[in-house]
Chain A
Amino acid sequence: MSELRLMKGNEAIAEAAIRCGADGYFGYPITPQSEVMETLMALKPWETTGMVVLQAESEVASINMLYGGAGCGKRVMTSSSSPGISLMQEGLSYMAGAELPCLVVNVVRGGPGLGTIQPAQSDYFQAVKGGGHGDYKLIVLAPSSVQEMADFVELAFDLAFKYRNPAMILSDGMIGQMMEKVELKPQKKRWTNEDIDEMHPWATTGKKKDRERNIITSVELDSEKHEEANKRIQAKYKELQEKEVRYEAIDTDDAEYLLMAYGSSARISLAAKEILRAKGLKVGLLRPITLFPFPVKQLQNLTGQLKGILSVEMSSGQMVEDIRLAVEGKVRVEHFGRYGGVVHSPEEVANALEQKLTGGK
């Protein structure tokens, strides 16, 4: 049965993971997301659904536990915040190379370095451009509510398995910590080992007599063959770009100015849009839900009508680069954002749009 609850974004991740039938969670504590593992440990899903929950010795270990679990065809996940996600980059690169699905939740905090425990969006580049070594990408979903924190867990697993590629929920300390009403979906069954044999014939489950051995690996010493492996991965990213873009467009039909923002910044930008509309400015909001694949076409379709775009991010300007690439110089694109753990106000955003795009008043 689905259920209405008031809960934190981090708690919603944990609840949704159990309910969608995840097989394993492996993680290491870090603020502002420790509630994910704390909630799981309190709920003890190993006694109900059979989900494994383990506190690892580091994020390096967590992500490699995901590699092992995913290699067995299991739906495995971890969560962390910025410094921990940096430690996972090696593992993510290996998983992308070995074409392994998994879910990594990044509840972003301000960096660089140990930075701060306050919310930020400064890990955008790391999330959407690869992050580790080699030519690869993550599937990146950006929730802007507690409801989406819950809903995107299953969506991320589905996309990860469909494309055999790691997926990331790129959240931030604000969404992770704030409480909202959330509808939790009914409990789903976990896949059985027989389901996995049938659905994921590539998984290492023990070599049956009637098949070749399965090998999960990212190494190929013959460079010609390795180029082929790379091409296979790149073809998936192309397909993702064609088929899996998700976004929300609000008041864009008549818009002359566009606010572009994801996650917490999108909520703030929505309020800023109202302020600007009240002033008579035709402002819309485009909120990418998938950051990779980025809504390139959707943005291009709007360029003809726009006088300017403001990218609103809790960073010094990262997504703004992807917007500029998408619009190919046809529209003026500016960035506004507070960062290092500071969250901008709707008034600041509204002012910035007026100053930077309309010449101010």
Chain B
Amino acid sequence: MEAVINEIKKPENLVYGKTKVLTDNVMHYCPGCSHGVVHKVLSEIIEEMDIQDQTIGVAPVGCSVLIYNYIDIDWQEAAHGRAPALATAMKRLRPDRYIFTYQGDGDLAAIGTAETIHACNRGENIVIIFINNGIYGMTGGQMAPTTIEGMKSSTCPFGREPVHDGNPLKMTELLAQLPGTAYVTRQSVHTAGAVRKTKKAIRKAFEKQKENKGTSVVEVVSTCNSGWKMTPVEANKWMEENMFPFYPLGDIKDV
């Protein structure tokens, strides 16, 4: 038996291993939350590109505020929405480093709209990872700029009503129109296939930075099962049926 196990454990038989860039800290995310999956994908890319010592991340205010506990690189934790301003200066002062921000939809598309648009419009050579779960997770499920019509949240408990609450914002389409963006895409992590596509997209975004192409934005349409008050399985299904029609997946811009 032991011989069999040792045979299985041989490096050449290894089919899966946790990247060392991901720390062993226990994540605080709710079960089923998309944040953890994106963290893993991001860490794998940093390992595969061998850029752990050359990458500096900017953390947002939102559920992923403590991302620096999970990904073993240097980090700066920004004020709510300001990550692209930090990243702008970081990249300009350290052009030899890979700089990326990791932001939720409230952070990126509400309080940080100006910083996001202007960093993208200037074509700052950074990567922006945009977790769009259509809600404010951290503060307990309030309406986000991305909450779709009819979707319930604690501040639109009967469903978003555009006449009263305003319209949901397609930030990624908006950013794709700016001359400074090089690569703009929308992905998800609800299936194994989708995770693989997201990984490819984030990898491509980092490659664009290597080639000095300008800003890359990778939106990941995500679930917040706690905020949405659904089980993880229900949340994935709800996302496919309701979010994807409004936020269609795929590349929006690639120059």
Q: Which residues of A contact B (CB under 8 A)?
A: 23-24, 26, 52, 54, 56-58, 60-62, 64-69, 71-72, 74, 76, 90-91, 94, 98, 193, 204-209, 213-219
Contact = CB atoms under 8 A, between A and B. Distances in A.
Interface residues of B, number: 33
A206 B88 contact: no
A215 B86 contact: no
Contacts of B58: 68
Chain A to chain B: the 4 pairs with minimum beta-carbon distance, closest first: A68-B86, A64-B85, A217-B77, A204-B74
Given A91-B79, A206-B97, A71 B86 contact: yes
A72 B53 contact: no
B207 interface: no
B86 A65 contact: yes
A209 B76 CA distance: 19
A206 B55 contact: yes
A52 B93 contact: yes
Interface stretch (B32-40, B65-73, B172-180): B65-73
Given A90-B79, A94-B79, A71 B73 contact: no
Q: Which of A60, A62, A98 has the most CB of B within 10 A?
A: A60
A214 B74 contact: yes
Given A206-B56, A207-B74, A64 B93 contact: no
A68 B90 contact: yes
A325 B93 CA distance: 43
A60 B114 contact: yes
Contact of A67 (B56, B86, B92): B86
Interface of B: 52-56, 58-59, 65-66, 68, 72-79, 82, 85-90, 92-94, 96-97, 114-115, 118
10 contacts: A23-B93, A61-B88, A64-B86, A69-B90, A193-B96, A204-B76, A206-B94, A216-B77, A217-B68, A217-B77
A153 to B, nearest CB: 18
Q: Which of B56, B68, B72, B89 has the most CB of A within 10 A?
A: B89
A72 B82 contact: no
B94 A205 contact: yes
A57 B56 contact: no
Contacts of A76: 89, 93
Nearest to A94: B79
A100 to B, nearest CB: 9
Contacts of B88: 54, 61, 65, 68
A71 B54 CA distance: 15
A335 B83 CA distance: 44
A56 B85 contact: yes
Given A69-B89, A215-B68, A219-B77, A64 B115 contact: yes
Contacts of A66: 89
Given A213-B75, A215-B74, A217-B77, A91 B90 contact: no
Contacts of B93: 23-24, 52, 68-69, 72, 74, 76
A72 B77 contact: no
A64 B79 CA distance: 8
A96 to B, nearest CB: 12
B115 A207 contact: no
A234 B74 CA distance: 26
A213 B74 contact: yes
Q: Which of A62, A90, A205 has the most CB of B within 10 A?
A: A205
A64 B82 contact: yes
A58 B86 CA distance: 13
A208 B74 CA distance: 9
Contact of B82 (A52, A67, A69, A98): A67
A210 B85 CA distance: 29
A68 B59 CA distance: 11
B20 to A, nearest CB: 11
Given A206-B56, A206-B97, A61 B74 contact: no
B124 to A, nearest CB: 10
A217 B83 CA distance: 12
B82 A60 contact: yes
B114 A61 contact: yes
Contacts of A23: 93
Contacts of B118: 56-57, 61
Nearest to B71: A213
A65 B89 contact: yes
